[in-house]
Amino acid sequence: MQISFGILAALLSTSSLVAASPTQSAGDLMLDLNSKAISALENAQAPTSRKKCTIANANVRRDWKALSKKERKAYINAVLCLRKKPSKADPSFAPGARTRYDDFVAVHIIQTRTIHATGNFFTWHRYYTWAYEKALRDECDYKGTQPYWNWFETGDFATNSLFDGSETSMSGDGGFFKHNGSVSGTGLIFLPSGNGGGCIKKGPFAGATANLGPPSPGMDGMEATATPLEYNPRCLRRDLSRYTIDKWMTLPNLYNVTLGDASRSIQIMQDEFQGRFPDRFLGLHGAGHFAIGGDSSDLYSSSNEPVFFLHHAMVDRVYWIWQALHPKQARDIAGTITIGNRPPSRDALKSDPLNMGVNAAEITIDDALDTMSGSPFCYIYLVTAPTPTVYIPSTEVHCNVVGYGDDNNYWSGGSGQSIKDPSFSVCRDFCLSDSEATSFRFNSIVCDCYNGTVSAVVTPDASAPWTWYDMLCGSANKLSLNIELDIHLNKALSDISSACSCLIPSPSAPTTVTITAKASRTITTTQTRTNTFSVNKLRSTFVTDRKTSTSTSSSKTTKTGSETVTQTNRKSATVTKPVTVTVTNFNTVIVTNTNVVEATNYNTLYFTNVDTVAETDYNIVAFTNTEGFTVTQYYTTVQTDVATNVITPDAVTVTSGTTTVWGS
């Protein structure tokens, strides 16, 4: 069952939500929710602060399964890089931290009791995951975005591309370690063991080391440490299990926190999402951690597990969807500043800081409430589905066309005979053996091969008994899967998913765009000029004539003048540099031209006049006039001329023919 747009509109315009649970799968519901979230953001009136970040230019976070092997490998290499780079933290902050990755683990350990079951749970972990993503990009040359683990599409761990142990996975299970399962929910929820529990054995993180923690492991057989910030090297452990996925990562639970009763307020939603432990309800957040098990079972040091950040990207995705579908409550927060309000504490405030230590600058909860604020965030999540196959055939592929054809002109000479009792696969396989065949037809009786395409052979007729297919057709039926497409494609998702193929016309030729940077700009700067005059006069007169008298006069004058000076165009920044960019339709091209001119005028004048007159004629007169005059003028003009032009065409490159997108 699909959630209708009418229902969604009602949800967005009123505070009451539909409580009835859908009958589709959790994975399908997630597809619908993500699409509706994108639509809601597109339709929302963007505030002024969002002008720099739009749906069109936002970074897109994608499902791990949608990444190519090359993209997965790039992410893995960046994580391994961060696990080798030396720590930036002060040794007093985390004495055991040896790597940049440890810096992130240390921050989570230190703040655990003020970032879980608190008013900042979602925003703190949103910023934490973003800071990690930024470190991968800035420090390890990663070009992509933070992927997420779609819990609802996990399937069998052994064949899941995230956990299958291949070189393009985040490694597989731990080695077998006999233990009595795990305990969560403050000791109230027992979880049976999986088939692992030991050190990771296969994949890029085989033999990986955790240096900090664990102060409170949930898995039996793991030894806790009383000094979690001290150096405690040990192998990274996992115990993959579907138990928590099957029990808590379900359609009703997803629906409840996004559209159902629990979605009515941020307080109810986050409490349900993080778990109702007295009711032995683990919630989606905890279920993800304990599905991985091992080091991930420790609330404090769970980020030792590299899949932590894919898990929390999915946590953020659900929160992002909830915000998009509840715009009136999107900026609400609820809860206190201590874990489960133990010890009792005040309510969290939007002005409360989110501190990442050496990993990122401090921001507030309010700064982290919008992923498209432009500062610091500008990202969205893309609909989850397997990546479609994109190719450019010479003609459009025709599938499932009912009609009649010309047997005399287009019969494939090498087919030899008709096949009785055919099916799509039998008929296609038979005709594939004929090198001349480019299409085939069958009905309930026979199958024939043709050396012409369906478009050349067939006259469509709904009453005709034959069904025709080009040899490139992958299925006997029209595809019904929702497939992942970039949002810039000129076809709606509904158009794509309901068709056998999506024909996207190619452009006639590439487009050449010439971009000229902004012309010279005159900047008028109003500054304050302060002049200081220091004058010291010392006069002494000595007169000796029968009578001696001494007269001393000393005076000091200081003058400080402050005035406003308007400077116009001390230096002119002239930027007229044409930039020629070739833009091929369906490609994204960003051209940025930035010019900075800095002008500084610093003048100092120092003047000293010393006059001395000595005269002696019966009368002795000594006169000394000393004057000091200091003038300091400081003018600074900084001019910045920034010209930026962003071109965002569509997202698939077509150079000839047509593009057909298939679901898979």
Say which CATH architecture domain 396-470 belongs to: 3-Layer(bba) Sandwich (3.50)
Condensed to tens digits (0 to 9), the pLDDT of residues 80-104 reads 999 999 999 999 999 999 999 999 9
Tell me the two tokens of residue 67: 């990444």
- The answer to whether the pTM exceeds 0.75 is no
Rounded CA gap, 317 and 31, in Å? 12
pLDDT band with cut points at 50, 70 and 90 for residue 412 = low
Q: pLDDT at residue 636 above 60? A: no
Q: pLDDT tens across 120-132, in order?
A: 999 999 999 999 9
pLDDT attached to residue 48: 47
Residue range 313-333: average pLDDT?
A: 97
Q: What percent of the chain has pLDDT over 70?
A: 63
By DSSP bridging, strand 589-617 and strand 619-647 are antiparallel
Instruction: With a cut of 80, say whether residue 379 has pLDDT above it.
Output: yes
Q: 26-381 adopts what CATH topology?
A: di-copper center containing domain from catechol oxidase (1.10.1280)
> pLDDT tens for residues 332-377?
999 999 999 999 999 999 999 999 999 999 999 999 999 999 999 9
The domain limits of the chain are: 26-381, 396-470
Instruction: Using pLDDT thresholds of 50, 70 and 90, give the confidence band for residue 607.
Output: very low
* pLDDT above 80 (res 244): yes
Environment class of 103 (CB within 10 Å of its CB; exposed 0-12, middle 13-18, buried 19+): buried
Q: For residue 585, give the nearest of 503, 508, 491, 495 by alpha carbon.
A: 508
Query: Would you state the structure tokens that stand for residue 124, as one six-digit string?
Result: 């703190």
Comparing 508 with 300, the larger pLDDT belongs to: 300
Q: Which helix (H) or strand (E) holds 565?
A: strand 547-568
Residue 352 burial class via C-beta count within 10 angstroms: exposed 0-12, middle 13-18, buried 19 and up: buried
Positive or negative torsion for Cα 320, 322, 326, 331: negative
Q: How many other β-carbons are positioned within 10 Å of the β-carbon of residue 441?
A: 27
Torsion from C-alpha of 316, 318, 324, 326, nearest 10 degrees:
-120
Please state, as a whole number, how many other Cβ atoms lie within 10 Å of the Cβ of residue 51.
9
User: 139-160: per-residue pLDDT in tens?
Assistant: 999 999 999 999 999 999 999 9
For the stretch 550-573, pLDDT in tens is 444 444 444 445 444 444 443 333
Q: What is the model's pLDDT at position 309?
A: 98
Residue 297's pLDDT band (cuts 50, 70, 90): very high
* 18-70: pLDDT as tens digits: 444 555 788 888 888 998 898 888 887 555 444 688 888 899 999 999 999 99
Structure tokens at 23: 């009958």
Distance of CA 642 to the CA centre of its chain: 26
Burial of residue 474, with CB atoms counted within 10 A of its CB: 0-12 exposed, 13-18 middle, 19 or more buried:
middle
Mean pLDDT across 500-524: 41
Query: For the residues 531-559, what does the mean pLDDT come to?
Result: 45
Give which of 306, 164, 189 is closest to 237, Cα–Cα: 306
With CA atoms as reference, report the closest residue to 236 among 306, 337, 312.
306
Place of tokens 């230190």: 110
Retrieve residue 171's tokens. Answer: 């490694």
Q: Crossing angle of helices 5-13/26-43, nearest 10°?
A: 60
Residue 582 three-state SS: strand
Residue 315 has pLDDT above 80, yes or no: yes
Are residues 150 and 384 in contact, defined by beta-carbon separation less than 8 angstroms? yes
Q: Is the pLDDT assigned to residue 582 strictly greater than 60?
A: no
> How high is the mean pLDDT of the chain?
74
Q: Is pLDDT of 577 > 50? A: no
pLDDT of 422 reads 81
pLDDT confidence of residue 507: 44
Residue 455: pLDDT band with limits 50, 70, 90: confident
